Structure 1
Amino acid sequence: MTPTSAPAPTGEQYALRLDGPNGPVEAVVTEVAAALRQLTVDGHDLTQPYPESATPPFGDGIVLVPWPNRVRDGRWTLDGEAQQLDITEVAKNNAIHGLLRYGAYRLVDRTDSSVTLGAAVVPQHGYPFHLWTTVAYELVPDGVRVTHAVTNLGSAAAPYAVGTHPFLRVGEHSVESLTITARTAEHVMVDARLNPEGLEPVAGTRFDLTSPTLIEGLEFDDAWRVEPDDDGLIRTTVAAPDGASTTLWQQGDWEWLQVFITRIFPTPDGLTTAIAVEPMTAPADALNSGLGLRWIEPGASWSGSWGITRQA
C-alpha cells in the first residue's frame, strides 16, 4: 500500500508546552537523532528553527553519540587491535558525530511538557559495543533542561562521549548583532581536516571569549575546554544589544564546547548567519586522545545534563 503523504524526514514530531511565568515555553523534538527542532519562550526563538519538511541543516539540534565531533581517519586502537569506523565525513576522511545521527529513537516517556526518547547503539564497524541511550527533554519556566543517559548492555567496558548541536538565537535579533561570552580556558588547535593537534591557552588571543565578543566578523569552527562558574555550571551566553540573551549551560563534566558559525544557513527567507553552540563531554578524536572519554563498565550507567534558558 502506498502512503498518501511522505512522512517528515526527521520522523515523529513531539510538541511540548509549558505555561511559564514569562509566557508559554514551547519546543519540538524529532524522532530521528532526537533533535531539538524548535524552542521558544513567549514566542521568542532560543534556537534556530527549521521546517518539519527539512532534514536538520548543518546538524541543527541533533544528538551526537557515542562520540561528538571527529575521529581522525575513522581509526583508533582497542586493546592493541586497530578499529576502523565508517567514514562519514568523506571530504576530510573522518568519522563524524557518532552513530545515531540518522537513527530513529523510540518513545520512552511523554507528558505535555517533557519527552524521553531512547535508542540502541549496536556493535558495528569500528565500535564493537552495545549501549542503550536516552535523551530526556523537560521544559522549565525559562527554557529547557536536557538529560542524556547511557547504559552498557555488553560484556566489555565501552568508550563513550556525547554532545549536541543546537544553533542559538535571541528572538528576532540577527546573529551578526549578538555577542558571545564563555569561560574559555584552552583552545583546541586543529589541522586542515579539523583534527586536534593540541591545546593552547586563550588569554590575549582571538580565541578568548571570556569578555563579550561581537559575532559579526568571527570565523569559528573551533573547540575549547571551558570552566564552570562558582555554582558548578558552565555557561555560554549570546546577547543582543537591547540586553536580551540566550544562555546554554552545561554541567561541569561537560567541560568541552564547540562553536561553529555559518553564513549560509538556509531559512524560508533565504540564507542567514547561524551560530552553533555545542556542549560536549569530550573534544574531537577522543577515542584516540582519551580526553573526556568515559569507559562505561558492563551493566553500569552514566547521565549528565545541559540546557538553554532565556533572559529578557
Structure 2
Amino acid sequence: MSESGKAYAAINLNEGGRLFDLKLDDRPVIQEHEDFPYTNSSASAIMFPFVNRIQDGMYSFEGKTYQITCNEPSKNNAIHGLLYTRKFEVYKKQVSVKAAILTLKYDYDGTTQGFPFPFDFFVTYTITEKTALVKMKVINTGKKTFPFTIGWHPYFTSENLYESYIDFDCDEEYTTTDDRSITNGTKPHELNMPFQLKNHPFDTAYTLKNIKIGFHTPSYKLTITGNAAQNFVQFFTPATKNIIAIEPTVGLSNSFNNHIGLQTLLPNKTYKIEWNVEVETKN
C-alpha cells in the first residue's frame, strides 16, 4: 500500500503470479469475487505461451504435431496457456516513495505435454498512486525456436457496469463458433464509441488500430496502453455483476492453428511486452 493509502496491490505467487487486488487513486480497480473463483474466472491470469484457446489442444509447428492437455473439457480445448496455475518466485523487489516494483520469475523446463520448449518468464509490476505497469519478458532457454502468443486477463470492476463505457479504435470484430469459442471469421464492428455497456453481453475479440483501450465508470476513467506491434483485445462479461474482462493480447483464439498474431522466439532470444493501466478519478 502507498503511504497515502490511495494505491494498493496484491499478487498471488501460487496462481501464476497474478495481480488479484488493485486500488489506484483511491478506487478499487481489480477485486476478487467469492461467487467467481479463480478456477472459473482466470482473473488477471498471465496467458503464455498461448492466449484464449487451442482447438482440441492440438497444433503443428515446423512439421511436427503436438498435443497439449485439454483443460477445458466441456469444449475440448486447451485454454489460457501454461503459466496461470504455476508457482512464481520473487526475483526482485524495490519500494520507494513514488512506486513499488516487484519482479517475479518462473523457469519452465519444457516437460509439460505438448510444449517441449524451455523458457524463463519474468513479470514486473510497477505500482504508483495512479498507474499499474505490467511488463513481461520471455527468454528462450532451449535449442529450438518455439511459437507463442501472450496476453493478460484482468477483470475490471465498476459500481455500475450498466452505466459504464468502453472506448477503443478498431477495424473488425472476430466471430467465433457458438459451441467452442474458436475464431472462425471476421465482420465489421458495429459499436459506436464510446459504447455504453448496459446489458450488452461480450465474449468478443477485436483488432485494434492502436493499443489504447478506455473503460469509463461512474467514479473513474481507466486507460490501458501498450507497446506491441500488433494488438487485439478480448472483452468478456460474466454472470457476476459489475465486472468486465478487458484482455489485451497479441493473438487470438486458436492462434497456434490460424496463425493470427502468432509469434516465434529463436533460441537464446528475448521477447518483451508491457501494458500500462492508468486511472483518473472522476469525483
TM-score (norm 1): 0.82
Helix, strand or coil for the counterpart of 2:252? coil
Distance in 2 (alpha carbons) for counterparts of 1:200 and 1:286: 18
1:219 equivalent in structure 2: 201
The unaligned stretches of length 5 or more in structure 1 are 1-16, 229-233, 266-271
RMSD: 1.8
The one of 19, 27, 31 equivalent to 1:36 is 19
SS at match of 1:303: strand
Please say if 1:237 is aligned against 2:192: no
**Is the counterpart of residue 279 in structure 1 residue 262 in structure 2?**
no
After superposition, the Cα gap between the structure-2 partners of 1:92 and 1:57, relative to the gap in structure 1 and judged at 3 Å, is closer
Q: Where do 1:223-302 residues align within 5 Å?
A: 223-228=205-210, 234-241=211-218, 244-253=220-229, 255-263=231-239, 265=240, 272-302=241-271
Aligned ranges for residues 140-155 of structure 1 at < 5 Å?
140-155=128-143
Distance 2:128 2:227 in 1: 16
Identity %: 22
**Equivalent position to 1:45, from 15, 20, 28:** 28
Letter in 2 for 1:240: T
Question: Aligned partners of 2:260, 2:218: CA distance in 1, in Å?
Answer: 37
> Deviation of residue 48 (structure 1)?
2.9
Within 1, Cα distance between the matches of 2:176 and 2:170? 17
Q: Given the alignment of the two structures, is residue 90 of structure 1 paired with residue 77 of structure 2, yes or no?
A: no
Per the TM alignment, residue 81 of structure 1 is displaced from its structure 2 partner at its CA by 2.2
1:27-77 Cα deviation digits (max 9, x unpaired): 1111021111111124311223347xx646511111111111000111111
Report the AA paired with residue 206 of structure 2: W
Structure 1 residues 153-168: aligned runs within 5 Å: 153-168=141-156
Q: What is the letter of the counterpart of residue 187 of structure 2? A: E
Asked if the contact 1:87–1:93 (Cα under 8 Å) also holds between the matched residues in 2, the reply is yes
Matching residue of 1:179: 165
Does the 8 Å contact 1:50/1:56 carry over to 2? no
Q: Aligned partners of 2:243, 2:81: CA distance in 1, in Å? A: 23
Q: Check 1:146–1:217 CA distance in 2 against 1; reply closer, same or farther (3 A cut).
A: same
Contact kept, 8 Å, 1:35 with 1:63, in 2: the verdict is: yes
Larger mean CA deviation between 147-156 and 280-289 belongs to 280-289
CA distance in 2, matches of 1:254, 1:34: 25
Cα offset, 1:184, TM superposition: 2.2
Structure 2: distance between partners of 1:103 and 1:253: 28
Q: Hey, what's the Cα distance between the residues in 2 that align with 1:296 and 1:163? A: 16
Contact 1:46 1:309 in 2 (8 A): no
Give TM-score, length-normalised by structure 2.
Answer: 0.90
